[in-house]
Structure 1
Amino acid sequence: MMFGLPLGFFVESAVAVLLALTIGYCVVLNQRLKRLHQDRGALQQMVADLVSATNLANQAIKELKATAIDADVTMSTRLNEAERFGVELANHINAGTALMDRIAKITAAARLAQAPTESAPETNKVQSALQQLTERVRSRGVAA
């Protein structure tokens, strides 16, 4: 016996202090576990939201791919049609130019045939008009 107190009292006091510390630590640990469970619920909600957002993004990508394919098909069709119209227009322009050349040759031949019977001033006017017509035909052919 030391100092008048039994040794058992010191041992029990030490056990009581350790037990109090253990209970305090368990309370702190319990609070941390509660926060972890709360955070776990929030984390599960975030994961569910992320999965939902990923599914929406995948659907949007599929729709964008389908739209891009449709746009490509439509554009290819329109481009082929435009090329066909361009060739057709060029053929019409060439035919029109050839027709204007033939008309100019016919008028030139008619003018030469009428030249001896007409007077000189009228012939000059007709020749000037035919020459302007021929120049206009040539300038249109070059522009096309």
Structure 2
Amino acid sequence: MGLSLGLFIEGAVALLLALTLGYCIVLNRRLTLLHADRDALRLMVGDLVTATSLANQAIKELKTTAVEADLSLTSRLEEAERFGIQLANHINSGNALMQRIAKITAAGRRTPAPVAGLDLLPGAPAAAPAHGTNKVRAALEQLSTRVHNRGVAA
């Protein structure tokens, strides 16, 4: 019985050693895979760091470009405002001039026809005022026609 009990214990120990050896082999394979995954993870983290630094650089360049575009747009808007103000001033001046011309034209049309023998200008001969008045009327009519044509064209 002593021999069989010793043999049984030795067999149990051998079986436990075989199971331990098998478990160590499985554990070694898992550790090898884990180390391989760790190396792949290390490469992936390195790639991620590189991509992050490139993205940060691109963001800085985009910010710089946005600031330059904003400055350019601001200067163009200011220039457009100046041109708009100048254009408005020119339009107002043109309107005022057109109104003055229209008043002169209207006043020229309302003037009575000169009576023969009356001098419009002191010291001028009698024939001169009629001839000069005709020239003024002709010029005013041409001006009135131009103003009217411009008004129709606009």
Q: TM-score, normalised by structure 2?
A: 0.72
User: Size of the alignment, in residue pairs?
Assistant: 126
1:116 counterpart residue number: 113
CA distance in 1, matches of 2:102, 2:149: 6
Query: Distance in 2 between the 1:107 and 1:96 partners?
Result: 16
- 1:104 corresponds to 2:102: yes
Identity among equivalent positions (%) equals: 62
Q: By how many angstroms is 1:111 displaced?
A: 2.0
RMSD after superposition: 2.6
Q: How does 1:45-124 map to 2 (within 5 A)?
A: 45-113=43-111, 115-116=112-113
Please, which runs of 5 or more residues in structure 1 have no aligned partner? Answer: 118-125
Q: Who is 1:120 aligned against?
A: none
Provide the rounded CA distance (Å) in 2 between the counterparts of 1:74 and 1:135. Answer: 38
Unaligned runs of 5+ in 2: 115-140
2:1 is equivalent to residue 7 of structure 1: no
1:29 is matched with which residue?
Answer: 27
Query: Counterpart of 2:34 in structure 1: which amino acid?
Result: L
Summarize deviations over 1:12-44 as a string: whole Å, max 9, x none: 111111111110000000110011011111111
Q: CA deviation at 1:53?
A: 1.1
RCO greater where, 1 or 2, for CA within 8 Å and sep 6 or more? 1
Q: Structure 1 residue 110: deviation in Å?
A: 2.0
- Equivalents in 2 of 1:107, 1:74: separation in Å? 48
Cα shift at 1:134: 9.7
TM-score (norm 1): 0.77
Superposed CA offset, 1:90-141 (max 9, x none) = 000011111111111222222223x425xxxxxxxx6xx66x829939xx6x
Distance 1:47 1:40, change over 3 A: same
In structure 2, give the amino acid aligned to 1:26. Answer: C
| Deviations 1:56-115, CA, capped at 9 Å, x for gaps | 1111111111111111101110010000000000000011111111111222222223x4
